[in-house]
């Protein structure tokens, strides 16, 4: 009897089995990253979805490119704005900084800030753009690092809404307790409270946090708007506890204004000029601000000045007189005699941010220039709008605007601790993680769906309603 037949059969089956394993491993590996240019999260169950004819359709790969543009635009704006941070805050109180910058100061020597004595910025001796070329690495700063942390926490915890306990654990894990920990005012106070066992939102209550009116939340939470494209109602839900980690009342509403702006960036008609879209987004975001609040009155003042054709420098100077000298519209921080006349406050920096937003008219270069020259905590609002416009024009749009290519690497360990790969990440990967978070939000919060073959999201088209912020 010839026994080779069974042996050949066994051998053939074994070979087929091994090939199958190898093939499946190759397939699995490709799914973790990009297969046919489609991002697939193996840790998420993509459910079947029957789309409606009224659903909004968004490309996931295009969105990844936009998120790359966000991180890149934010870093360019952040590091450029840092050149003039706290150079010009006015002449009230012990610290006096002379006249504010004007457009004519761009490219000229940087003046010392309130901490540097008689020395200009170490980043640039002149007021100019700060870039990181292809071979470099962008360093994290307080305008990008906590947003990075929140994105990481959402992905790690496989959730789209962070709990107070998760926020506290994330802060305590990834932020150094000792100096230099790159925390100031409300962020630092909230961090100290967390060490005492207090959990958000209690970390923002005025009775616990005397710095609740400061700028912190508006530079650490805008990204939640991108996690809920075209759905500001969902974006506000996602961002509520992160905002309430450090902000309350007016500072909270200002932060929500930014979150809504970021969410509406996916709602716009891309066939229209970016200026028209940004102005539409701003008018809708304004609805969140209670009419009797100082942020609402600040916005209305800047917008009416823009409509009247008044130069941005004059408007910025009038903001200083109106809100810090005269203390109009209930903005009474000068009378509190805070350090540097509350130069870190949410209000005055919000007013300055609306100047750069409107007068920049959607041009990323012009917006960053005006933001950098506007005064006060100049890197923060500038980063917000650099990130927003960077998202709207995408990676290629940012590079084309500046006529050059930039580094895609990011070092979160410049300011934070405890992240993978010794803290070195890439904008490509950061954008990929952002897409995975949106996957979860679309499916679990919006009741929408994901078609991986077409690489698209189906987002149920809800009527755009923005409610007024409440206490």
Is residue 360 within 8 Å of 367, Cβ to Cβ? yes
Is residue 345 within 8 Å of 214, Cβ to Cβ? yes
Overall average pLDDT of the 281-286 stretch: 98
Overall average pLDDT of the 125-131 stretch: 98
Is residue 25 pLDDT above 60, yes or no? no
Structure tokens at 290: 């209670």
Confidence at residue 333, expressed as pLDDT on a 0 to 100 scale = 97
Residue 162 has phi, psi (to 5 degrees) of -75, 140
Q: Which of 5 and 316 is assigned the larger pLDDT?
A: 316
Residue 249 φ/ψ region, left for φ over 0, alpha for ψ in the -120 to 50 degree band, beta for the rest = left
Instruction: Compute the Cα dihedral for 133, 75, 352, 85 and give only its sign.
Output: negative
Alpha carbon of 97 to those of 115, 279, 340, 343: distances in Å?
Answer: 11, 32, 10, 12
Overall average pLDDT of the 233-255 stretch: 98
Q: In CATH, what number does 56-459 get? A: 1.10.4080.10
Q: Comparing C-alpha atoms, which of 142, 32, 150, 152 is closest to residue 425?
A: 152
Confidence at residue 438, expressed as pLDDT on a 0 to 100 scale = 98
Looking at residue 430, what DSSP letter applies? H
Confidence at residue 191, expressed as pLDDT on a 0 to 100 scale = 98
Confidence at residue 264, expressed as pLDDT on a 0 to 100 scale = 98
* Domain parsing of the chain, residue ranges: 4-32, 56-459
CA distance 99 to 316: 11
Confidence at residue 463, expressed as pLDDT on a 0 to 100 scale = 85
For 357-392, write each residue's pLDDT tens digit: 999 999 999 999 999 999 999 999 999 999 999 999
Confidence at residue 179, expressed as pLDDT on a 0 to 100 scale = 84
Confidence at residue 36, expressed as pLDDT on a 0 to 100 scale = 57
Confidence at residue 29, expressed as pLDDT on a 0 to 100 scale = 38
Overall average pLDDT of the 241-257 stretch: 98
pLDDT band at 471 (very low <50, low <70, confident <90, very high): confident
Among the residue ranges 19-23, 79-83, 308-312, 375-379, the one predicted with the least confidence is 19-23
CA distance 105 to 220: 29
Overall average pLDDT of the 113-122 stretch: 94
Looking at residue 324, what DSSP letter applies? I
Confidence at residue 243, expressed as pLDDT on a 0 to 100 scale = 98
Among the residue ranges 28-42, 213-227, 283-297, 300-314, the one predicted with the least confidence is 28-42
Is residue 33 pLDDT above 60, yes or no? no
Alpha carbon of 171 to those of 89, 145, 146, 197: distances in Å?
Answer: 30, 11, 9, 12
Confidence at residue 37, expressed as pLDDT on a 0 to 100 scale = 76
Q: What is the DSSP string of 380-403?
A: HHHHHHHHHHHHHHHHHHHHHHHT
CA distance 400 to 5: 66
CA distance 266 to 56: 10
Structure tokens at 120: 């200009």
Confidence at residue 175, expressed as pLDDT on a 0 to 100 scale = 98
Confidence at residue 462, expressed as pLDDT on a 0 to 100 scale = 87
pLDDT band at 312 (very low <50, low <70, confident <90, very high): very high
Is residue 409 within 8 Å of 387, Cβ to Cβ? no
Q: Comparing C-alpha atoms, which of 427, 436, 439 is closest to residue 137?
A: 427
Among the residue ranges 8-17, 246-255, 309-318, the one predicted with the least confidence is 8-17
Helix (H, G, I), strand (E, B) or coil at 342: coil
Q: Which residues pair with residue 412 across a beta bridge? A: none
Residues making up the chain, counted from first to last? 471
Is residue 78 pLDDT above 80, yes or no? yes
For 151-170, write each residue's pLDDT tens digit: 999 999 999 999 999 999 99
Confidence at residue 32, expressed as pLDDT on a 0 to 100 scale = 42
Q: What is the mean pLDDT of the chain?
A: 93
Q: Comparing C-alpha atoms, which of 215, 219, 189, 218 is closest to residue 204?
A: 189
Total Cβ atoms within 10 A of residue 398: 25
Overall average pLDDT of the 449-462 stretch: 96
Total Cβ atoms within 10 A of residue 428: 17
Structure tokens at 146: 């906590």
Total Cβ atoms within 10 A of residue 228: 27
Structure tokens at 117: 């004595």
Is residue 9 pLDDT above 70, yes or no? no
Rounded to two decimals, the pTM is 0.92
């Amino acid at each position: 009897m010839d026994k080779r037949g069974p042996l050949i059969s066994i051998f053939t089956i074994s070979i087929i089995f091994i090939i199958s394993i190898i093939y499946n491993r190759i397939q699995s590996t490709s799914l973790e990253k990009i297969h046919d240019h489609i991002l697939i999260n193996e840790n998420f169950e993509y459910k079947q979805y029957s789309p409606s004819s009224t659903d909004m359709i968004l490309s996931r790969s295009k969105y990844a490119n936009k998120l790359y543009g966000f991180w890149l635009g934010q870093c360019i704006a952040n590091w450029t704005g840092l050149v003039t941070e706290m150079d010009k805050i006015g002449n009230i109180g012990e610290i006096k900084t002379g006249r504010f910058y004007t457009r004519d100061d761009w490219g000229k020597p940087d003046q010392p800030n309130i901490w540097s004595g008689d020395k200009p910025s170490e980043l640039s001796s002149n007021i100019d753009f700060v870039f990181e070329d292809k071979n470099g690495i962008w360093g994290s700063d307080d305008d990008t690092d906590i947003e990075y942390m929140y994105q990481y926490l959402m992905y790690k915890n496989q959730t789209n809404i962070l709990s107070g306990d998760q926020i506290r654990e994330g802060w305590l894990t990834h932020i150094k307790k000792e100096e230099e920990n790159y925390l100031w005012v409300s962020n630092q106070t909230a961090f100290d409270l967390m060490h005492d066992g207090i959990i958000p939102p209690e970390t923002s209550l005025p009775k616990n946090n005397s710095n609740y009116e400061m700028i912190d939340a508006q530079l650490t939470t805008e990204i939640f708007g991108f996690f809920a494209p075209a759905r500001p109602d969902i974006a506000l839900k996602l961002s509520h506890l992160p905002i309430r980690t450090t902000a309350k009342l007016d500072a909270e509403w200002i932060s929500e204004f930014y979150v809504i702006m970021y969410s509406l960036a996916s709602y716009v008609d891309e066939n229209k000029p970016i200026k028209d879209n940004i102005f539409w987004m701003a008018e809708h975001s304004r609805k969140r601000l209670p009419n009797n609040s100082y942020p609402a009155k600040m916005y209305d003042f800047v917008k009416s000045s823009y409509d009247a054709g008044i130069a941005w420098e004059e408007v910025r100077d009038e903001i200083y007189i109106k809100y810090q000298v005269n203390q109009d519209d209930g903005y009474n921080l000068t009378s509190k005699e805070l350090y540097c006349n509350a130069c870190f406050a949410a209000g005055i920096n919000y007013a300055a941010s609306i100047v750069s937003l409107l007068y920049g008219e959607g041009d990323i270069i012009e917006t960053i220039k005006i933001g950098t020259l506007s005064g006060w905590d100049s890197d923060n609002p500038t980063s917000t709008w650099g990130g927003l416009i960077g998202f709207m024009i995408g990676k290629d749009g940012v590079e084309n605007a500046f006529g050059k290519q930039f580094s895609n690497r990011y070092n979160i360990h410049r300011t934070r601790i405890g992240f993978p790969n010794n803290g070195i990440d890439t904008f490509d990967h950061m954008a990929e993680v952002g897409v995975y978070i949106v996957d979860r939000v679309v499916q679990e919060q919006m009741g929408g769906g994901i078609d991986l073959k077409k690489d698209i999201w189906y987002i149920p088209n809800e009527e755009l309603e923005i409610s007024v912020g409440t206490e």
